[in-house]
């Protein structure tokens, strides 16, 4: 959510809250390179854009926050309403039921041009039950609310006395203050020769690079990243160790488990080199040791609240 001083908002029939900036972050306006010439075609060409200063929430809207909105207003989301047959001429009657798309990771290679290979329409899927009629989001109050349409997000923002950020405002905020950089922390996804750590930034956790001495004869090393994550997320830290040489990650993995977190390792059969994952596996600290193609589905289940 964002907010701009002096911005007028249209009247509607939703009960509104008095806007508060106490839980928001102020971003000073500026001019930056918006778009990209190296990714999706619709993002080109890169062009200079100016945005005025604005407030923005440091975190996504949570299930708890959205529930308060629904309880206060009686709002019903798009996914909870049966489709109007007039909007879908020729649709089979038994398909005109409330629902939404659910991400379903395939267990085998698929045609990446066919999105239906990893998305399926699920009856009953909505913000209360993101995966359909199975487990609800009970106990996941601090997780971001999902299965929300643009109309739903706009209604929540109006009730909260805020606005949805414009595309330019969102990209400006997400750039992390580095104009034209590939990533919020610089030009490389994993810069060589420097340790990567998670640190507390002005808007929440962010990445910092350091020139400290090698750890486990490695620079960059995994252990500094793992131990820094504990400072931010404590027992909520989850580490995944993939194929790699040496034993880097074992010490940090032990610290994560000692703090109440979890470690998942790639199994030997699917690893090119079972050094790093083998070290954490042999240390007996892994919550799971899985083939590479099962790790992503496992993470999706964990993040959805399924601990199986």
Structural domains for the chain: 2-57 (no CATH), 63-161 (no CATH), 191-303 (3.40.50.180)
Other residues' Cβ atoms within 10 Å of the Cβ of residue 293: 13
Question: CA–CA separation, 79 vs 99, rounded Å?
Answer: 5
Q: What is the pLDDT of residue 7?
A: 41
Q: What is the pLDDT of residue 6?
A: 43
pLDDT tens digit sequence for 4-47: 654 433 334 444 555 567 889 999 999 999 998 887 889 999 99
Strands 2-3 and 54-56: antiparallel
Angle at 72 between CA 67 and CA 75, to 5 degrees: 70
Three-state SS letters, 19-39: CCCCCCEEECCEEEEECCCCC
Q: What is the pLDDT of residue 308?
A: 65
Q: What is the pLDDT of residue 81?
A: 97
Q: Is the peptide bond before 220 cis (omega within 30 degrees of 0)?
A: yes
pLDDT tens digit sequence for 60-104: 999 999 999 999 999 999 999 999 999 999 999 999 999 999 988
246, 244, 278: which is closest to 263 by C-alpha? 278
Question: CA–CA separation, 259 vs 156, rounded Å?
Answer: 36
Contact 103, 122 (CB under 8 A): no
- Mean pLDDT for 201-224 is 86
pTM given for the model: 0.63
- Mean pLDDT for 175-179 is 86
| Ranges 55-59, 64-68, 202-206, 210-214: which has the least confidence | 202-206
Is the pLDDT score of 164 beyond 80?
yes
pLDDT tens digit sequence for 106-160: 777 788 889 898 899 999 999 999 988 777 888 888 889 999 999 999 999 999 9
pLDDT tens digit sequence for 184-206: 777 776 667 889 899 988 778 88
Helix pair angle (250-258, 222-233), 10° resolution: 10
């Amino acid at each position: 959510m964002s907010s701009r001083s002096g911005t007028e908002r249209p009247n509607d029939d939703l009960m509104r809250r008095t806007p508060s900036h106490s839980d928001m972050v102020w971003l000073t306006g500026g001019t930056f390179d918006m778009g990209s010439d190296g990714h999706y075609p619709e993002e080109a060409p890169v062009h200079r854009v100016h945005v005025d200063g604005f407030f923005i929430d440091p975190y996504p809207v949570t299930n708890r926050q959205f529930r308060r909105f629904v309880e206060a207003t009686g709002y019903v989301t798009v996914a909870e309403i049966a489709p109007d047959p007039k909007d879908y001429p020729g649709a089979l009657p038994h398909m005109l039921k409330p629902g939404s798309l659910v991400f379903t990771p395939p267990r085998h290679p698929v045609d990446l041009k066919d999105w239906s290979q990893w998305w399926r329409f699920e009856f009953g899927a909505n913000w209360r039950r993101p995966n359909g009629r199975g487990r609800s989001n009970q106990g996941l109050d601090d997780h971001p609310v999902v299965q929300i349409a643009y109309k739903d997000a706009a209604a929540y923002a109006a009730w909260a006395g805020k606005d949805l950020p414009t595309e330019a405002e969102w990209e400006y905020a997400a750039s992390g203050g580095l104009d034209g950089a590939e990533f919020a922390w610089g030009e490389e996804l994993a810069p060589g020769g420097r340790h990567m750590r998670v640190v507390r930034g002005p808007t929440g956790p962010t990445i910092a690079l350091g020139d400290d001495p090698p750890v486990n004869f490695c620079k960059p090393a995994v252990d500094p990243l793992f131990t820094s994550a504990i400072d931010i997320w404590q027992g909520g830290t989850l580490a995944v160790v993939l194929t790699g040489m040496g034993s880097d990650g074992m010490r940090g993995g032990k610290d994560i488990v000692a703090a109440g977190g979890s470690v998942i390792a790639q199994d030997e059969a699917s690893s090119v080199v079972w050094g790093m994952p083998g070290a954490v596996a042999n240390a007996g600290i892994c919550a799971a040791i899985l083939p590479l193609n099962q790790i992503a589905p496992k993470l999706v289940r964990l993040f959805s609240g399924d601990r199986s």
